[in-house]
Structure 1
């Protein structure tokens, strides 16, 4: 009995602490600031970065943990969502238990710890997707998509915050790399070639298409191969991969029984003064106009669901389709650094996706 009382007391202390940190103000940073700060990874700068994260990460993580406890339609009670909440509470506890960082050894120990936090949260997207699937199974048919807007808004905030947390941790960890690639400041490549990233992402998407359908349409890329700008290659790879994967699937399924050759997917990279725009065009038959509002929601996918109870082995972006999370999350990645993603479709012909990336790098992180 005494043990139960103690654990309840402990839970209350943790809950109060999470509430206290969750009500503090978050501090956003810009791509340009990360680049300028990270271009001199001196011991003093790494210490300052660790001290900033020591205070900033618990605030961001506490906010999400609080939200995870009060989601509508009983989403908070789903086993997969409870698991995610526990990951966030564990990470909050790890960060708050870590003493103030005063020297190089403490800074290195802190860096190891946040690296572990990032790994702990690797499967948050498939776990939340599974929670949403569990919810969909239990929802009464009388609930219309409009009622679910609150869940969409929560997931937008939740994933946007996750992108920020992973970017801050990843950037700090990467600044410790003794042999960074030329032109790279942490995770940011100051001379990233969008053509090269688009090519690599397209090849990855084609290999998955091959695995699923035993063939894949060609992908043709147009643009200036010498053009570069500062961006995070892993973010761009994820977005282009997702868009090309959707296009390949649409074309493949439209032409599967046709005697015509499947038309290629076309990627055009345009370099403007404010934005770099990447257009991905396919002739996969398009999306009916009534379906367009749904493609950025988290409760919609036209494919069979690849998620079973076991999502531990699932990594982001490995299945051809089925989460229904790829497009909304890609749009968040674009918006994280001040860009956007738009989809324009011609039913009966095909779809164009416009990925706008801000060149200026000075938009602040959007902090949900």
Structure 2
């Protein structure tokens, strides 16, 4: 995590203790949380429906602005444990790989995004990181082989140098280059717990043997020209600064309100599509936060009266939002609008919703209720 200015002064733990009681702060008791790269105390507090003060008091935190990956914190349980123990978790365990999002993992196992979030006690704002273990309850017990092949990495290659920018974390950089935070740390002779400094130079180990953008997904293999264009876009986005997930969330909501679109719907679709990640590129060359393909980008450009750059986060979000607005005006229900965004309006009108479209709609509608 890049070193930041010190946070505002906070009362000592002893003072905070007098303001809260265990029953009010943690009605379901406490559990242990392991700090991940990129975590902040306020983010952990929001995720576990508590306050920074309560975490400071419970964990005797000396400096709320300085927590490290691997630290263990006591946090409130967000729901009652079953049979007096931790909640039961059944299903397939998936180990998160570099570049993966919750929506991509859900699609790979035939599960819904909302189902994966619920099964793991996550929210749409939760960051996942390489090495995390997620329980997935889907219609398939293993991921599709094409997707699994796409995530294989090689340890070979000469590598390259990267200069740290504001907001960078090791996990973000690793995701960008298809490697792991541990490998970058080892190659750069730093610790995974180290604070990164703007301008610091890191060594990115070896190129991947398989491109981060595969040539197929969900059983569909895409034309060489389409995949090549997708890989060019992926390479371009890897070199650009992009907004953080929280910044993307604000951007989507703001853009939706400006164009008269339900912000919760736009947030749900953008999360389902990319996990609010502007660097996401699919084998179909669907790009960015809203996963817009070039032809759809041309249509969106005609709707706003100017050329939209899908590699720019603001333009990408604008494209998705104005398409949602146009689809909403051409359909009789929100569910049909969502289906049309995924499957195409003409296809939905002539053929009805495909099975995977119905699954997509259910997931988006469930996410919308949480936004």
- TM, length-normalised to structure 1: 0.28
Instruction: Tell me which protein shows more strand as a share of its residues.
Output: 1
Higher relative contact order (CA 8 A, sep 6+): 1
Instruction: Tell me which protein shows more helix as a share of its residues.
Output: 1
